[in-house]
A and B are shown apart, each in its own frame.
Chain A
Amino acid sequence: MTTLAAIRPDGAWEASLFLHVAGAMLLVGGLFVVSLSLIYAWRAKEDGEEAKIRRFAYLTLFFVVLPAFVAMRIGAQWVLSASPFSDNANWVGIGFAISDAGFVVLIISLILAGIGIRRMRTGGGQTGARVITVLSVALLIAYVVAIWAMTTKPS
């Protein structure tokens, strides 16, 4: 319950922290939905069912994960500018590295999703879906590392 106390000093920057944490939570939540949906689609036996679930996952990627990433990233920059922490701290570096690499992976996933939606009409796009599955699970693991860095602040 006292959690966020330790990842902020006292100050008037609660709004930025709220935006950052809420965005990050929604980002991880959206990725959780995308990953599990695509894992289910991977195992689905009927082509129609698989395509339906893939579409659901791609829409979640676009309408939940992308806006949540933007909120998290804006919040991160805002909270850092208002905080006493140095931009050069190790844990800040870990956060930025994961965030920047995560953005590239997210854009690749969105492009693959766009291509996948077009290919669904002709019954294709399975390979792209599998790549997005792997990428979204990798992103989830990377964000767990980011949570660890934000909460333990390794020097």
Chain B
Amino acid sequence: MLFLHVLLAFILVAAVTMFWALVLGTRPGRPALTPGAAMWLGRAGAISVGIGSLGVLIFGIWLAIERPEYHPWDGWIIGSIVLWAIATGTGQKAGRLYQQAAMNPGEALTLRARGLRLQTVAAIALILLLVFMVWKPGA
């Protein structure tokens, strides 16, 4: 159970790493990737982020129920779920903005800037999530 939870967390972070690589690889003016490659890699990232984010939550809650030393209502677990919601919500919105930027070159810079802000929020939420998992504040 713990193996699956951690593995899915790795898949989630792998997808986020992919999205950051895509942000850098599709910069207007100096793209390191072709549009076709960016779309293909973006799809792979989207599939991975879907599997990783949902799976890590399900197995995480399962672990909190299964292990006698933890409870789903522990402060650090609730905090982690809130951070998970922030990370997935902002990450999804950032992805949509980047897709719109690819389809509307005229507004690409504005859309990408908004997407970058949201993606940064998602990344910070994920880092804090890992901090919660390691330090377990209040546990």
Contacts and interface: CB of A to CB of B under 8 A. Distances in A.
Interface in A40-60: 40-41, 44, 49, 52-53, 55-56, 59-60
B32 A59 contact: yes
Interface stretch (A21-29, A94-102, A124-132): A21-29
Interface string B5-22: 111011001111110010
Interface residues of A, number: 40
B60 A1 contact: yes
Query: From DSSP, what is the main secondary structure of chain A's interface residues?
Result: helix
B131 interface: yes
A3 B13 contact: no
Contact of B10 (A37, A59, A147, A152): A147
Size range of the chain B interface in the assembly = 35 or more
Query: From DSSP, what is the main secondary structure of chain B's interface residues?
Result: helix
Given A3-B9, A14-B135, A147-B10, A29 B3 contact: no
Interface of A: 1-8, 14, 17-18, 21-22, 24-26, 28-30, 32-33, 36-37, 40-41, 44, 49, 52-53, 55-56, 59-60, 64, 144, 147-148, 150-152
Interface of B: 2-3, 5-7, 9-10, 13-18, 21, 25, 32-34, 36-37, 40-41, 44, 48, 57, 60-61, 63-64, 67, 69-70, 77, 80-81, 127, 130-131, 133-136, 139
